[in-house]
Structure 1
Amino acid sequence: MDRLIIASTIVLPPEAARSLSEGVAPHALELAAARSAKNLAVVAPDPLVLGAEVVFGQPHPDDVRAAPRLRWVHLSTAGYARYDVAAVRATLAARGAALTTSSGVYADPCAEHALAFLLSASRRLPECLENQRGPRGWPDAHVRSRSALLRGRRVLLLGFGAIGRRLAELLAPFEVELCVLRSRPRGDEPFRVVAREELGDAFAWADHVVSSLPEAEGTRRLVSAALLARMRPDAWFFNVGRGVTVDQAALIEALEARRIAGAYLDVTDPEPLPPDHPLWRAPGCVITPHSAGGRREEPMAQVEHFLANLRRFERGEPLVDRVI
């Protein structure tokens, strides 16, 4: 393959930056002036991107459309909502260019985070933490009587991408009964797959509803007031996908009325969540700051994922985590 011009729009720590620089050889690596260390930051347009054939990071969507030689964009995130628009899709299609994500990087940490949520809710860990902070009593009978097993429970997975598939694997030892909402069923799923029109019954069936849905045209506010109303008072809702997939006002109302047992959220709308937002005070609500995908090795994992895909690109092989 001819020598490529690869533009990077992300700021990496020294070790990961060195791995990227060495790994792209013999291609040329150019670092855009408009770069960010934060995955979800929208970087400004950068003239350097316009001359690239490959971009790694989070390029501005206008640059993706304007870059005449662009053949492939590899995002440093699992989400790709701002590129999933008609104008960008049409431009990429006209050039035969690809858009891939880093979903594989985040499957393990997000799935483990979701499993931690499920176990924490089942074993009532937040109640014990609150007691430790004060009044520091010994409510053993109360906590024991409210605790539950995860084993054998009914779990509805909203989304069955990289995160959902990995979570299903982690749940296997608990012998849960799984049900899955999948945008494009393949017919070989080892669990019951439900269509969107069947979600009401699925929400009523589940002990735990776990969402890893991305933001897309068909997922915004998918978890609606009507669906939340179908959940049982002892059922839990968890979200490690995107905050905009939930009718947040309806969720707050359900929590405040104690119509569901509680919610564990790694994502909200907006982000960051303002300190005075009512979701912070909602009964039974536990919030983590969009940290589910994080781990100490995250930057290096991003680089390794990109470089592995670069080798595939060089050989003309199918790219991993391709979405466009």
Structure 2
Amino acid sequence: MVLAAGGADPTLEEAEVAFGQPDIAQAMACPRLKFIELSSAGYTRYDRGDFRTNMQGRGVAVTNASQVFADPCAQHVLAQMLALERNLPVQLRNQDGPREWRYLEDRFTNGTLTRRRVLLLGYGAIGRRLAALLQPFGTQVSAYRRTPGAEAGVTMVDAAGLPAALAAADHVVNILPDSPATTGWMSAARFAQMKPGARFYNIGRGTTVDQPALIAALISGQVGAAYLDVMDPEPLPPTHPLWSAPNCFITCHIGGGTRDQDENLAAHFLANLAAFGRGGTLTDRIM
């Protein structure tokens, strides 16, 4: 598990470079450390004032592995969006279930991504890659972040413009990270602001969504369908109501995974290590 917290390691005390999920207290106490690469895109446990102050004060560079997971996560969401537009989940469930000939029901409710409006909640490495993948479909992509800047081909939205963006979107993709500020961020009020029947996706973190509110929105039809790769808690218990919520489709936090994940992580780290050694620019630097 790339996100699992690492324990104290006596060899870290002699290291100048660390790769993985080093123990926070130990990393702050190791005077020889000069460079840390985290083996994950998420870095919530490290995103704290004392760690940032310690690393920046000592000149320790810290990177994550966002680029390793950006393409798998973006393609996972794109697959979900296409699946819902093309009625694939209900067709596949039908094959495993009643095997009815759902011609009229599904052929004439199919859609496409062409000219659909997509709102990205969060615009980091995953959001940028997803926006690029959506471009050939002719979608209209907007993205929310707290401090929006100019982005070619993407309409950036701040807090003031968020209600209108939610109301206009056919697909709302949550890519927000876990933090105290984002806990339950996608709330009942924000689900109510969405266009009735719009689809919702979560590839960020489960804690960012008020899950009872999402279930209620699915039951009422305010949210037409949800595709979730992250939930709270994980693993999701078999009796959890998300499993049986109407039009709710779940994958088990596999969005960032690939069969060559470890090789890609190693390549990312080695490229950054080489750049660090020559004083170059580090990819995915967070501190």
Q: Percent identity?
A: 49
Q: 1:177, CA displacement in angstroms?
A: 0.7
Q: Distance in 2 between matches of 1:201 and 1:69?
A: 50
Q: 1:200, CA displacement in angstroms?
A: 1.5
Residue 80 (structure 2) pairs with residue 117 (structure 1): yes
Q: 1:221, CA displacement in angstroms?
A: 2.1
| 1:77–1:199 CA distance, 2 compared to 1 (3 A) | same
Paired residue for 2:265, among 292, 302, 319?
302
Paired residue for 2:50, among 73, 79, 87?
87
For 2:53, the aligned partner's letter is A
- Summarize deviations over 1:205-232 as a string: whole Å, max 9, x none: 1000012222234333221211111112
Q: Distance in 2 between matches of 1:221 and 1:69?
A: 39
For structure 1, the residue ranges without an aligned partner over 5 or more in a row are 1-37
Q: Distance in 2 between matches of 1:158 and 1:247?
A: 15
* Cα contact 1:199–1:227 (8 A) shared by 2: no
For 1:250, the aligned partner's letter is A
| 1:86–1:185 CA distance, 2 compared to 1 (3 A) | same
Q: Runs ≥4 in structure 1, deviation > 4 angstroms? A: none
* Cα contact 1:158–1:180 (8 A) shared by 2: yes
- Summarize deviations over 1:83-128 as a string: whole Å, max 9, x none: 0011111111221112100000011111100100100110111110
| Cross-structure match for 2:196 | 233
* Cα contact 2:229–2:253 (8 A) shared by 1: yes
Paired residue for 1:67, among 30, 38, 43?
30
* Cα contact 2:142–2:155 (8 A) shared by 1: yes
Q: Distance in 2 between matches of 1:196 and 1:222?
A: 12
Scaled by the length of structure 2, the TM-score of the pair is 0.96
* Cα contact 2:175–2:203 (8 A) shared by 1: yes
Within-5 A mapping of 1:207-222: 207-222=170-185
Q: How many residues align?
A: 287
* Cα contact 1:222–1:247 (8 A) shared by 2: yes
What is the DSSP-based 3-state SS (H/G/I as helix, E as strand, rest coil) of the residue aligned with 1:146?
Answer: coil
Residue 238 (structure 2) pairs with residue 259 (structure 1): no
* Cα contact 1:181–1:195 (8 A) shared by 2: yes
Paired residue for 1:50, among 2, 5, 13?
13
| Cross-structure match for 1:100 | 63
Scaled by the length of structure 1, the TM-score of the pair is 0.86
Q: Distance in 2 between matches of 1:166 and 1:239?
A: 16
RMSD between aligned residues: 1.3
Q: Distance in 2 between matches of 1:46 and 1:257?
A: 51
Paired residue for 2:169, among 196, 202, 206?
206
Q: Distance in 1 between matches of 2:153 and 2:196?
A: 29
* Cα contact 1:240–1:292 (8 A) shared by 2: yes
What is the DSSP-based 3-state SS (H/G/I as helix, E as strand, rest coil) of the residue aligned with 1:131?
Answer: helix
Residue 134 (structure 2) pairs with residue 171 (structure 1): yes
Paired residue for 2:98, among 127, 135, 159?
135
- Summarize deviations over 1:227-276 as a string: whole Å, max 9, x none: 11111232000111111111122112211222210110111111111111
Q: Distance in 2 between matches of 1:66 and 1:243?
A: 32
* Cα contact 1:64–1:70 (8 A) shared by 2: yes
| 1:293–1:55 CA distance, 2 compared to 1 (3 A) | same
Q: Distance in 2 between matches of 1:64 and 1:119?
A: 43
Q: Distance in 1 between matches of 2:159 and 2:34?
A: 35
Q: Distance in 2 between matches of 1:185 and 1:313?
A: 30
Q: Distance in 1 between matches of 2:27 and 2:189?
A: 39
Residue 255 (structure 2) pairs with residue 289 (structure 1): no
What is the DSSP-based 3-state SS (H/G/I as helix, E as strand, rest coil) of the residue aligned with 1:229?
Answer: helix
For 2:234, the aligned partner's letter is E
Paired residue for 1:190, among 140, 144, 153?
153
Q: 1:162, CA displacement in angstroms?
A: 1.0
